[in-house]
């Protein structure tokens, strides 16, 4: 799972929701999550604003991201 996807999921957003909030195409977001493309700085800023519009949500998102990384590490160990 890409960092972008883990962060989006930790924020509780679907690809469609995040794409709409960040004003980018869902297809472009999907490609970025798969690592097929790199997003432009303006797109990254828009995604950041869309995911974390209020500072009090930061801790919850960070906690979800940390959990997603732990899950990813465990999955990679099992697959390897």
Structural domains present in the chain:
3-79 (1.10.260.40)
pLDDT for 55: 41
pLDDT tens-place string over residues 6-24: 989 988 899 999 999 999 9
pLDDT tens-place string over residues 16-56: 999 999 999 999 999 999 999 999 988 988 898 888 765 44
Residue 2, classed as helix, strand or coil, is coil
pLDDT for 48: 87
- Backbone angles phi and psi of 12, in degrees to 5: 75, 30
Those residues whose C-beta lies under 8 Å from the C-beta of residue 62, and which sit 6 or more positions away, are 10
Question: Tokens standing for 35?
Answer: 């690592």
DSSP state of 40: -
The CA-based angle 41-70-62, given to 5 degrees, is 45
pLDDT for 77: 63
More confidently predicted of 43 and 72:
43
Q: What is the mean pLDDT of residues 59-76?
A: 71
């Amino acid at each position: 799972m890409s960092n972008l996807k883990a962060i989006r999921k930790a924020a509780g957003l679907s690809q469609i929701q995040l794409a709409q909030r960040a004003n980018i195409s869902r297809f472009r977001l999907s490609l970025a999550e798969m690592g097929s493309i790199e997003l432009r700085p303006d797109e990254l800023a828009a995604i950041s604003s869309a995911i974390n519009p209020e500072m009090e949500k930061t801790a919850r998102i960070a906690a979800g991201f940390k959990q997603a990384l732990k899950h990813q590490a465990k999955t990679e160990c099992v697959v390897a």
